[in-house]
Structure 1
Amino acid sequence: MKDNPIKNIVFDLGNVIIDIDVPRAAHSFAKLSGRNPEDVVEMFGTAGLFGQFETGQLDAAGFRNYVRELLQNPDWEDAVVDTAWNSLLLDIPPARIEMIQKLGENYRLFLLSNTSSIHIEAVNTILEKATGVPRLDDLFEKLFLSYEMGVMKPDPAIYEQVLREAGLEAGETLFLDDNENNIIAARALGIQTFHVQPPLTMLDFLQDYVA
């Protein structure tokens, strides 16, 4: 892109790289437990389950045990909980990965995601099956993951940590996310942004950035 000031690109994960359908997880847990999806959403929300897991307050074992406790199914095996939790993860279109690989020739690339250890493991499996790339680490200079950082988007602290640790200038950094609140928070710090919204994908916006 002519006169492009961008030197760094930070990608969200869900609905930017991998397609997701968040309600599917609640429906999966509802089906397993014989409850209504709305009741599961309310129960998990009241307990702050996902927020605790995605900020590292709960590890994978703690998350699974809390799910068993909340849904009163103490005998569920780990794989049962993981499969229901991962059901919200859909497909990774190979064209998106090819775009990221091309961009890596001219830009510093990073991932910033509100996520959990169970999801990252599953995403890596989906990624390798879809594209042959074994891990997200192979695509980015560094992964900034909320469960490791102890903070979630849209808290300004998470963006400040990314800028600080990677040595990035906000005005030279482009951030792509599907959540408007996350975009607003990044923009307030001077980061350039693109709000990924259907029918547009990251591919539509980033074509001009490929040399």
Structure 2
Amino acid sequence: MKNDKIKNIIFDLGDVILNIDVPIASKSFAALSGKEQSEILSIFKENDLFRQFETGKLNEAGFRNYVRELLGLSDLSDEAIDTAWNSLLLDLPPERVELLQKLAGNYRLFLLSNTSSIHITQVNKILEASTGIEKLDDLFEIVFLSYDMGLMKPDAQIYLNVLEQAGLKAEETLFLDDNLDNINAASKLGIDTIHVQKPLTILEYLKDYAV
């Protein structure tokens, strides 16, 4: 149901705007290394690899070198690592972009994503191939990315920083995310939320806002 107080809408990226399949990445790294997928997941989790990259503690070169170190593959190319890491990124349906463009006539739109620079480069390529739009920045007033902010959802501070930087009031702001922890954290701050759950998409959840 539409909340008439809403003036601003913040979108998550993965499985909200862009379709993703997170396990594919660990499968890809397993194929590169000859290790089992479960071992890859364990290695990366124990060493906090993705969190370090997605909060900017590792830059692109640092991430790639750490992957080589953890997998024991010193000759693994940058391209091979990037391709494996990006394999979880699927398609970006043009109708979701059309919805964003329609909503932009009545609301201030923002993106807030836990992500990495390698992913964003690839997402922009997918976006342009799908819609002709060159980059996410062309769809949103501000694009908030975890690796730039040094924070990740569901840390309350990341939402507070977004509200402050964009000059938003929590009660006038709607946030959409597929992760329940992220939704709950935003809700505690007074932000209105929608938990996006497949098979529904933002097309269904926001139909009342797009009229």
Indicate the TM-score class for this superposition, using the shorter chain for normalisation: over 0.9
Q: Are residues 1:188 and 2:188 paired?
A: yes
Q: Call closer, same or farther: CA 1:206–1:40 in 2, change over 3 Å.
A: same
Q: Counterparts of 1:30 and 1:209 in 2: how far apart (Å)?
A: 43
* TM-score calculated relative to the size of structure 2: 0.98
SS at match of 2:106: coil
Structure 1 residue 2, shift from structure 2 partner: 7.4
Tell me the equivalent position of 1:133: 133
Gaps of 5+ in 2: none
Q: State the distance in 1 between where 2:2 and 2:173 align.
A: 16
Q: Deviations over 1:158-206 (max 9, x none)?
A: 0000000000000000000000000000000000000000111111011
Preserved CA contact (<8 Å) 2:183 2:195:
yes
Q: Provide the residue aligned with 2:59 in structure 1.
A: 59
**What letter corresponds to residue 11 of structure 2 in structure 1?**
F
Partners of 1:206 and 1:78 in 2: how far apart?
Answer: 39
- Partner in structure 1 of residue 17 of structure 2: 17
Identity of aligned residues (%): 64
**Unaligned ranges ≥5, structure 1:** none
Task: Report how far residue 9 of structure 1 moved.
Answer: 0.2
Counterpart check, 1:96 vs 2:58:
no
| Partners of 2:103 and 2:209 within 8 A in 1 | yes
| Matched position secondary structure for 1:65 | helix
Equivalent-residue separation in structure 2 for 1:114 and 1:133 (angstroms): 22
Q: Which residue of 1 aligns with 2:68?
A: 68
1:60 Cα deviation (Å)?
Answer: 0.5
Q: Which digits, 9 at most, give the CA deviation of each residue in 1:74-130, with x for residues without a partner?
A: 111111000000000000010000000000011000000000000000000000001
The structure-2 alpha-carbon separation of the partners of 1:3 and 1:44, relative to structure 1 and needing over 3 Å to count, comes to closer
* Other structure's SS at 1:208 match: coil
Matching of residue 167 in structure 1 with residue 167 in structure 2: yes
Comparing 199-208 with 85-94, greater Cα deviation is found at: 199-208
TM-score normalised per structure 1: 0.98
1:20-52 deviation line (CA, Å, top 9, x unaligned): 000000000000000000000000000000000
User: Counterpart of 2:85 in structure 1: which amino acid?
Assistant: W
Contact 2:2–2:209 (CA under 8 A) maintained in structure 1: no
Structure 1 residues 142-181: aligned runs within 5 Å = 142-181=142-181
Which SS does the other structure have where 1:19 is aligned?
coil
Letter in 2 for 1:102: K
The Cα RMSD (Å) is: 1.0
